Chains A and B, each alone.
Chain A
């Protein structure tokens, strides 16, 4: 029971931190601020999903965590490339 309460508290804390990071996403004066905040939200979502896995006592969401990690990485890389070069996927030189 106590253990369950701890998990719930942890999940609540993560949720609050997501909300706090969201504030940075909307407020964040520059584009990199927002991208970093989104990346952080991705990681927070992973931990939230993990907590849910424990609370719901299931292994079904482990793939979700992996997928979130990959998506957060790809997304951040894509944004970074976009901010640096203006495009995400470069055209071939001779086309």
Chain B
């Protein structure tokens, strides 16, 4: 049944239909105000689900879409889905509010922008609140497509188009892998429902398709979430308008992959591959992204790489959390803290990264540049933006008292804790995990400081700025202010989130554990003098040192100027694909019909000979053969002789005449084999066609006379000889393996009795099988009309005689 929940999920799509109308008919009011209603209503609607999904509760509503294929639109709200729904609608509302002030209603095509944005919002809601894998995949692809449209919003810019294409290629590649993975899972478990699949997870774990399905789904998740080495599309997606970057490329779309990993954790986490792949790639992305972010000079570039890096961090925590599933109860299960940290950081990242993007958008809007080499000294000019930047940046760096500090502490705790995990040889090389995490955090600290201090402190370079800098209007500042207020609020009162959001989400990631009791997550500032605290102190000290010495480091950045390794690989592989496919096509698509005939014939010969000898079908049975009479022998000789002349003659006229001779000999064969009607027809047709050949040759231009010699090609000879041989062998085998008697006796008996005719051939043609004759008449009619129109119709280029 179609319920309000279903309607809520697709409401953005319905609203998207209305956007162009509103834009066209109410041009005085910024279209964004109308759009703003949708996420606000949805946000409050989804808030009402909070009591229902607390603990391990969930709401499931089924609407039958294609029930015969097991594809139903099942809306499923549990802790994880609701967390994402709240993020999508909440940040969506803030982003729409921000975009109202960011995008000018006179200069921009707002109808496009809001249509795409609503499409994206609906797709994300559908993705996270779907229980059916195919429906999930459908929404997954809609997010890719609407993201493509949003990145190329300023489609007149070359870089926008490049970034859009890149992100589409990479995410859709992952999307296809995902689809294959889903189909593999469904083929093992027999259902597309995630609930059903989780129930059958043992079945999947024993299946040989377990690993391929896991790898394909991870490929989909990694490409979407910009994990190493598929992170390259995200920095190029920064060509989108800033609200889009804030919404899609920090808070929602890039977390779709994380959602998928979290969703699939109960299914795949039993495997060591899952643990190492998710944790390993997460940490690799974390350190790679944080190192790359330092090299950027564009504020959005820094934020893009920081998003990459933070996503890696969330993913590595989810991977580490997989260890928790190896314990049966929550008591003494230290690894659940990793999952809690992942979810907590997911929320935190959405809040501070959204505010930072909006802050960067404001700076771009008010100063005209995003290049940190031209910015500086904005602190006194733009105090509110500076406040936002400090809170967001310090939270990202993991400094107290903001929420980033809490999740970073939990991250360290889980990374340290995981080294005690006894399985998967974590105890030997697992010590690397906290070291990598710690190093990456130092660089995270450095780029956060760059982001804040390079932009707002130092000397104001007025001559380098395109416009006179000033503080943004209040409407623009409203959304980031709400977000940083959340950053501070979550920082001070993190435990308000625990029972409402974090624990239900953990329950959906670890459903088996959730049944044994409450997770008892308690987030607090003061751990005592634990290892994590010293790690954070180390991060701050070392990070400050590196930041202060960054000018010296900068020389290294000149030596390794740009983080171009994977971008070059991407560009080269695209070019290489283009070039090699072009080369392949121009190599075998020569345009010469002769070459195509060679392909066709050699393929046919290979196929036929293989099926003839490969399957043991070749037999020669001489029992049913008739003795050869002298006429047949002589006529065969004539046939062979005229075909030899046809092949070896150097004159066209001789070729035509020997072709005629061939045809007449065939007519004689018909006489000999007692087929008078065939003989009659053959004679007439042969005469007409020989006449037509002569007609053609008479009109040949003189220039071709020089080419009239038939050259000898060894390839042609070999192919024609094998074709002839193959057909002969097949004919012999076919006549030797006649399994059933022919049905001709029926015609002979019933020709006069049933149809009243003595000429059996004619009775068959017009009575027993008259349909074929009808259509052959049609063929002749088409041919004659075709010839007539070819001769008469000379539309262009043809010379009129």
Residues of chain A touching chain B, judged by Cβ–Cβ distance below 8 Å, are 8, 11-12, 15, 18-19, 22, 25-26, 34, 38, 41, 45, 48-49, 52, 56, 58, 60-61, 63-64, 67-68, 71, 74-75, 78, 88
Contacts and interface: CB of A to CB of B under 8 A. Distances in A.
Contacts of A74: 687
A34 B683 contact: no
B672 A71 contact: no
26 contacts: A8-B630, A11-B631, A15-B631, A15-B634, A15-B635, A15-B638, A19-B638, A22-B638, A22-B661, A26-B657, A34-B657, A45-B668, A49-B671, A52-B631, A52-B672, A56-B674, A58-B674, A60-B674, A61-B676, A61-B679, A64-B679, A67-B680, A68-B683, A71-B684, A78-B691, A88-B691
Contacts of A67: 680, 683-684
B277 interface: no
A12 B687 contact: no
Interface residues of B, number: 24
A63 B680 contact: yes
Nearest to B642: A22
B686 to A, nearest CB: 9
Contacts of A60: 674, 676
Contacts of B172: none
Interface string B567-597: 0000000000000000000000000000000
Q: Label chain B's interface by main secondary structure.
A: helix
A34 B691 CA distance: 15
B654 interface: yes
B453 interface: no
Nearest to A49: B671
B683 A61 contact: no
B676 A63 contact: yes
Contacts of A64: 667, 671, 676, 679-680, 683
A28 B674 CA distance: 34
Contacts of B645: 26
A78 B668 CA distance: 23
A33 B542 CA distance: 108
A58 to B, nearest CB: 7
Contacts of B667: 64
A45 B654 CA distance: 20
A48 B668 contact: yes
A12 B635 CA distance: 10
Given A15-B631, A61-B676, A64-B679, 12 more contacts: A12-B630, A15-B634, A15-B635, A22-B661, A26-B645, A38-B657, A45-B668, A52-B671, A60-B674, A61-B671, A67-B683, A74-B687
A82 to B, nearest CB: 8
B627 to A, nearest CB: 15
B664 interface: yes
Interface string B692-715: 000000000000000000000000
Interface-central residue, A11, A19, A61, by most chain B CB under 10 Å: A61
Contacts of A71: 683-684, 687
A69 to B, nearest CB: 11
Interface string B646-682: 0000000010011001001001100110101001100
